[in-house]
């Protein structure tokens, strides 16, 4: 039966639905010549009929493979990694009886047809483990297989019989048969050597014959090596699923984002900034060691129902409106706001940013002002109310009359999908490979699954950051659908207990396999009460937490480094004089600018691989409520970082931390040096329990030069 597809716009096939599982099967053909890579397995495709899965069912396959990890939702979704990371796979693999089981992890990289095989190692209670390194971006696949190993089963039993002084001539003859069969699979000198072993084992045909030489041959390690090299994979069990790994480039897993409004970059107060003005900011931003420069929408802004300063419902003639009210007579999502400059100006900015080690990220906001060209050209993209007007965005009691949301239940959904995908394609053509996606949880899940997969099929280097502050299951679903990074609840985790619980969820559960957090202490939408009331100490502590707890983090600047903490009104998380609705002029020469501290911490992040991943995060107990202590390690590069933060923004804190010496590769009876990378001070500690004293909002970022970088 042919695969069914959904038809629609020309060239549009978002789904392929298999209706018959016996349509085709991937069977394994082992390279018995051993002239090429011995870890490669050739795959051949067989058609339905006699070669179908059902027809190929082998009742003598005794090995069971279950409880595979990682496997997200039964294998429906890919796990996420970046280039150079390891994929560690575990599974319960066993068989009936007492025969020895062999297990292998199979994997193949993007575009590869043949499998590579890695021997798995048994751990405890029939649990096996294997791992491979992903070396290129794109999609990897992996699965498992297992079979009974007759030779090792025979050899183990033979050793026990010999140790017990039992008569073994029949067992030696059985070993000879196994060696003879292996000789037929081998070539050259290996085949000759195996045949010699076979003859030696088979020579003892009665109990009266001297079996000492044959017994020695049975336990010869060279025979074992040859038999392993040419072992037969009879009645092999292949795990029923091929599981996926979505592999991104390094920046997908480790990045520091800086958000800025280009229109506020003019050196002249009150003047509208341009892309050329942003070029003047590049040295300042680069001096803080950021690597992603993110812009809110750069498109034309609508005039209808334009918002005024501080979100006033009525705009004054000189009000610039919200960049998220996208579209006017000057164009839509593929156009640039004329006051910012031209497309050539934007491309020049991309090139200049690259010279400073910065990559430009754009906001992908799928919504329209009433003046957007789509409103005229594709009115079916929007939902109409009973009176015939288009439904504007709202979150009762809040109303956003300047924004029309898109209707993903429209009958023209195929056309809508293609148009939205074309926006991504257009900006990729201009050189943009990072997109911060605005409110993706208010758009269709199937759309994201399709458009991200289609984009990454041709541009696997593209990064999508999901700005979805919503229910956990919705946020996790978006990550499963392919979003590279995700905003989190970090902003609202402001106690040690809340922070610890949340980070353990993100790093010690299956969430770590697909959800890659990006911590933001502030955004243009969020000025948390902690920053409003805590002042500079709060900004310091929140920055250290964001930058060291998460491998990916970002700040909205210059508001953050200048400690902007004025709310629109008491109890609000909106900024007073928010840049979302007006131009701002920032004086980066202010004495309270955190530029130097931010630059130093980003430098520490770049220098120490322990801070470039989240998987090794471990919290350590303290005896004070406001002192939080945690570590990160990189075992391969022998790097370990220990962070202690005073989360109180008004008072100094003193207390004791009790570190897990084993997790840090340290010994309980040996003194060790801790080097504070922020102050350059060094301290000698002994044992697990050590004293800490920190001023309000201050932190230690200790490097442990004597650590082995071990992880549990």
**C-alpha to C-alpha distance for 14 and 75, rounded to whole angstroms:** 19
**C-alpha to C-alpha distance for 208 and 647, rounded to whole angstroms:** 82
DSSP reduced 3-state for 207? coil
DSSP reduced 3-state for 252? helix
Residues 6+ apart with CB under 8 A from 623: 655, 656
Tell me the DSSP string of 63-117.
Answer: EEEEEEES-BGGGTB-EEEETT-EEEEEEEEEESTTPPEEEEEEEE-TT--SEEE
- Helix (H) or strand (E) run with residue 532 in it: helix 529-549
Of the listed 71, 85, 438, 561, which one is catalytic?
Answer: 438
**C-alpha to C-alpha distance for 306 and 301, rounded to whole angstroms:** 8
Q: In this structure, how many other beta carbons lie within 10 angstroms of the beta carbon of residue 651?
A: 11
Q: Is 277 a catalytic residue?
A: no
**C-alpha to C-alpha distance for 26 and 38, rounded to whole angstroms:** 20
DSSP reduced 3-state for 121? strand
DSSP reduced 3-state for 657? strand
**C-alpha to C-alpha distance for 204 and 224, rounded to whole angstroms:** 20
**C-alpha to C-alpha distance for 616 and 708, rounded to whole angstroms:** 14
**Residue owning tokens 């609202």:** 492
Cβ–Cβ < 8 Å for 312, 576: no
**Residue owning tokens 């429906």:** 76
**C-alpha to C-alpha distance for 210 and 282, rounded to whole angstroms:** 85
Structure tokens at 122: 């048994």
> Cis omega before residue 397 (within 30°)?
yes
Residues 6+ apart with CB under 8 A from 569: none
CA torsion sign for 122, 123, 125, 129 is negative
Q: How many helices (H) and strands (E) does the chain have?
A: 15, 34
Write a three-state SS string for 363-416.
Answer: EECCEECCCCHHHHHCHHHCCECCCCCECCEEECCEEECCCEECCCCCCCHHHH
**C-alpha to C-alpha distance for 468 and 439, rounded to whole angstroms:** 5
Strand partners for 367: 405
Cβ–Cβ < 8 Å for 522, 543: no
Tell me the DSSP string of 446-483.
Answer: HHHHHHHHHHHHH-TT-EEEEE--S-HHHHHHHHHTT-
Structure tokens at 64: 């069971």
**What are the E-state strand segments in 134-207?**
138-148
Q: Is 438 a catalytic residue?
A: yes
Of the listed 277, 467, 513, 579, which one is catalytic?
Answer: 467
Active site residues: 438, 467
């Amino acid at each position: 039966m042919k695969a069914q597809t959904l038809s629609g716009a020309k060239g549009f096939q978002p789904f392929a639905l298999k209706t018959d599982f016996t349509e085709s099967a991937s069977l394994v053909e082992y390279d018995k010549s051993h002239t090429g890579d011995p870890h490669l397995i050739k795959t051949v495709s067989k058609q339905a009929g006699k070669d179908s899965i059902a027809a190929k069912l082998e009742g003598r396959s005794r090995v069971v493979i279950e409880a595979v990890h990682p496997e997200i939702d039964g294998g429906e979704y890919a796990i996420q990694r970046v280039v150079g990371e390891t994929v560690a796979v575990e599974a319960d693999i066993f068989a009936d009886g007492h025969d020895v089981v062999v297990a292998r992890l199979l994997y193949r990289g993007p575009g590869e047809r043949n499998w590579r095989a890695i021997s798995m190692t048994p751990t405890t209670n029939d649990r096996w483990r294997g791992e491979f390194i992903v070396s290129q971006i794109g999609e990897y696949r992996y699965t498992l297989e297992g079979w009974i190993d007759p030779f090792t089963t025979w050899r183990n039993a033979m050793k026990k019989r010999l140790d017990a002084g039992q008569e073994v001539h029949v067992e030696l003859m059985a070993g000879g048969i196994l060696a003879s069969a292996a000789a037929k699979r081998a070539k050259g000198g290996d085949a000759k050597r195996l045949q010699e072993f076979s003859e030696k084992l088979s020579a003892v045909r009665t109990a009266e014959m001297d079996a000492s030489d044959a017994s020695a041959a049975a336990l010869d390690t060279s025979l074992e090596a040859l038999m392993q090299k040419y072992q037969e994979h009879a009645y092999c069990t292949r795990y029923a699923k091929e599981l996926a790994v979505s592999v991104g480039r390094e920046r997908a897993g480790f990045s520091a984002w800086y958000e800025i409004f280009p229109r506020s970059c003019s050196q002249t107060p009150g003047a509208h900034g341009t892309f050329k003005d942003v070029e003047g900011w590049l040295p300042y931003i680069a001096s803080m060691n950021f690597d992603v420069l993110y812009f809110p929408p750069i498109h034309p802004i609508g005039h209808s129902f334009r918002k005024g300063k501080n979100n006033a419902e009525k705009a004054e003639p000189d009000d610039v409106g919200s960049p998220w009210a996208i579209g006017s007579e000057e164009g839509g999502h593929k156009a640039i706001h004329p006051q910012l400059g031209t497309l050539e100006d934007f491309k020049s900015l991309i090139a200049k940013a690259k010279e400073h080690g910065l990559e430009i990220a754009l906001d992908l906001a799928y919504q329209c002002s009433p003046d957007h060209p789509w409103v005229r050209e594709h009115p079916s993209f929007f939902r109409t109310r009973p009176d015939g007007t288009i439904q504007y965005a709202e979150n009762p009691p809040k109303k956003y009359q300047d924004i029309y949301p898109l209707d993903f239940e429209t009958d023209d959904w195929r056309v809508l999908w293609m148009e939205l995908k074309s926006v991504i394609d257009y900006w990729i053509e201009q050189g943009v490979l990072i997109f911060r996606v605005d409110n993706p949880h208010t758009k269709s899940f199937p759309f994201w699954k399709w458009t991200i997969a289609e984009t990454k099929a041709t541009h696997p280097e593209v990064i999508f950051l999901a700005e979805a502050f919503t229910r956990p299951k919705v946020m996790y679903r978006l990550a499963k659908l392919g979003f590279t990074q995700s905003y989190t609840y970090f902003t609202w985790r402001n106690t040690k207990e809340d922070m610890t619980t949340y980070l353990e969820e993100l790093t010690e559960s299956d969430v770590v396999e697909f959800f890659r957090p990006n911590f933001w202490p502030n955004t243009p939408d969020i000025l948390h009460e902690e920053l409003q009331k805590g002042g500079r100490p709060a900004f310091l502590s929140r920055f250290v937490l964001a930058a060291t707890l998460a491998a990916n983090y970002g700040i909205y600047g210059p508001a953050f480094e200048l400690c902007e903490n004025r709310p629109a009104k008491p109890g609000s998380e909106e900024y007073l004089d928010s840049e979302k609705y007006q131009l701002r002029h920032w004086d980066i020469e202010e004495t309270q600018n955190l530029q130097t501290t931010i630059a130093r911490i980003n430098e520490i992040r770049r220098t120490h691989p322990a801070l470039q991943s989240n998987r090794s995060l471990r919290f350590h107990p303290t005896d004070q409520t406001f002192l939080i202590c945690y570590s990160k390690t990189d075992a391969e590069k022998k790097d370990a970082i220990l962070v202690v933060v005073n989360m109180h923004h008004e008072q100094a804190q003193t207390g004791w931390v009790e570190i897990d010496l084993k997790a840090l590769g340290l010994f309980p009876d040996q003194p060790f040096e801790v080097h504070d990378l922020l102050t350059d001070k060094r301290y000698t500690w002994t044992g697990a329990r050590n004293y800490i004293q920190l001023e309000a909002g201050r932190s230690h970022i200790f490097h442990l030069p004597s650590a082995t970088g071990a992880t549990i």
